[in-house]
């Protein structure tokens, strides 16, 4: 009999039993340990939790860039794809979404075709790792989603056009909301009643949220860091309640007051860039550490300029405390 989440049944003595509980949108639970053999009481009690399937939970993002009018995978893109393949081979419940884009030059028809070829090039590259094509979902947008103001006829530097010639790579857990997934073997011993627990677990292993290194006495973003911030923007857009903490560090030269002011300007540069990419200001918070957390303690050792550079950094960190997953999600049922 079933009543308010409680199931009761008459059990034969000296027998073994198996119980499976399933509900749409939740991982099924199977218990093969129920037995009345040698049992002298009158009631065998069990309590189970049904964990919601965190459909389409993005756990990792990266970007690969292309040369003008080309769809071949560049050498500088291969490490990102190699990393994606490594993660996909380890976790069978992750699929890859490839969203490919072009810059604004050439016709829309040409750019859609080029964008499509770029998406397919990723699939072909992943095949060498035996990643099945049905684990890769392709989307192509041509020039419809530029990341900056380099539209038709707008004079732009090649570096800014380059930011638009890209494939955004998003690893999603449990990508198909119509599928009733079994709990993966990799997660059988994990407790993740909240989807953010699964996100945190995977982030501990695979996260590559970037560190931004600034030139001495400068708060200007280098072009290489704009690419890293594009990755951060994708993650923040796909997880609308994720908080970003911008942690400012300086080297051990200059006064505390000056260094704090400089760190705040650097954080502002990061925030301003991400706000232009559509990230709300109230989702970003600056934390100041000054010279209290050096990578190299230059007060006790002689530091090279490269060592000072490692101290002069802005670290980006996503925070769980303000995090709420907003994908398809249900309250945990207890039985």
pLDDT at 256: 80
Average pLDDT in the chain: 81
Residue with tokens 């982030």: 203
Angle, helix 78-90 to helix 108-127, in steps of 10 degrees: 50
Provide CB contacts within 8 A for 300, sequence distance 6+.
Answer: none
Tokens of 314: 């802005």
Q: Is the pLDDT of residue 45 over 70?
A: yes
Residue with tokens 């095949």: 127
Torsion of CA 151, 278, 61, 248, to 10 degrees: 120
- CA dist 275 and 312 (Å) reads 23
pLDDT at 95: 93
Average pLDDT over residues 260-288: 87
Torsion of CA 121, 122, 127, 129, to 10 degrees: 140
Backbone angles phi, psi at 239, to 5 degrees: -125, 85
Percent of the chain scoring above 90 in pLDDT: 8
pLDDT in tens, 151-192: 877 888 888 887 888 888 888 889 888 888 888 887 777 777
User: Is domain 211-319 given the CATH code 3.30.1330.60 in the classification?
Assistant: yes
Q: Is the pLDDT of residue 49 over 80?
A: yes
List the Cα angle 89/94/99 in 5-degree steps.
110
Same fold, 57-206 and 211-319: yes
pLDDT in tens, 13-32: 899 999 988 889 888 888 89
Q: Structural domain boundaries of the chain?
A: 2-50, 57-206, 211-319
What is the side-by-side order of every strand in the sheet holding 57-65? 57-65, 166-173, 94-101, 136-142
Backbone angles phi, psi at 192, to 5 degrees: -135, 65
Q: Is the pLDDT of residue 321 over 70?
A: no
Tokens of 14: 């000296």
pLDDT at 331: 32
104 closest CA partner among 169, 155, 168: 155
pLDDT at 329: 33
Better-scored residue on pLDDT, 284 or 316 = 284
pTM passes above 0.75: no
pLDDT at 332: 32
Distances (CA, A) of 58 to 95, 236, 243: 10, 10, 15
User: Is domain 57-206 given the CATH code 3.30.1330.60 in the classification?
Assistant: yes
pLDDT bucket at 334, cuts 50 / 70 / 90: very low
Q: Which of 180-184, 258-262, 281-285 has the highest mean pLDDT?
A: 281-285
pLDDT in tens, 217-246: 777 787 777 878 888 888 888 777 678 888
Compute the residue count for the chain.
335
Provide CB contacts within 8 A for 111, sequence distance 6+.
Answer: 102, 142, 143
List the Cα angle 126/224/140 in 5-degree steps.
40
pLDDT at 207: 58
- CA dist 39 and 46 (Å) reads 14
User: How many Cβ atoms are within 10 Å of 222's Cβ, its own excluded?
Assistant: 13
Average pLDDT over residues 288-317: 84
pLDDT at 323: 40
* Bridging pattern class, strands 136-142 and 94-101: parallel
pLDDT at 327: 41
Tokens of 271: 């925030």
List the Cα angle 101/104/105 in 5-degree steps.
115
């Amino acid at each position: 009999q079933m009543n308010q989440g409680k199931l009761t049944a008459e059990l034969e003595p000296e027998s073994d039993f198996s119980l499976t509980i399933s509900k749409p949108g939740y991982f099924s639970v199977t218990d093969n340990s129920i037995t009345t053999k040698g049992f002298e009481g009158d009631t065998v009690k069990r309590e189970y939790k049904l964990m919601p399937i965190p459909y389409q939970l993005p756990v990792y993002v990266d970007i690969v860039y292309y040369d003008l009018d080309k769809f071949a995978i560049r050498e500088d893109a291969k490490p990102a794809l190699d990393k994606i393949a490594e993660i996909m081979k380890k976790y069978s419940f992750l699929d890859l979404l490839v969203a490919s884009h072009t810059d604004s030059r050439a016709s829309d028809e040409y750019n859609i075709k080029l964008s499509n070829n770029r998406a397919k090039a990723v699939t072909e590259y992943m095949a060498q790792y035996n990643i099945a094509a049905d684990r890769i979902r392709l989307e192509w947008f041509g020039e419809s989603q530029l990341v900056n103001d380099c539209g038709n006829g707008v004079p732009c530097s090649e570096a800014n056009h380059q930011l638009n010639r890209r494939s955004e790579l998003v690893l999603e857990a449990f990508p198909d909301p119509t599928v009733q997934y079994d709990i993966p073997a990799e997660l059988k011993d994990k407790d993740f009643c909240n989807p953010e627990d699964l996100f945190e677990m995977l982030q501990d292993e695979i996260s590559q949220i970037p560190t931004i290194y600034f030139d001495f006495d400068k708060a200007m973003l280098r072009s290489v860091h704009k690419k890293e911030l594009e990755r951060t923007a994708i993650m923040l857009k796909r997880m609308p309640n994720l908080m970003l903490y911008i942690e400012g560090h300086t080297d051990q030269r200059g006064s505390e007051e000056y260094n704090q002011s400089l760190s705040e300007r650097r954080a502002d540069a990061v925030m301003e860039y991400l706000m232009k990419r559509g990230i709300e200001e109230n989702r970003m918070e600056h934390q100041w550490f000054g010279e209290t957390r050096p990578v190299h303690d230059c007060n006790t050792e002689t530091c090279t300029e490269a060592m000072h550079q490692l101290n002069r950094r802005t670290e980006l960190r996503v925070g769980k405390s303000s995090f709420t997953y907003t994908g398809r999600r249900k309250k945990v049922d207890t039985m």
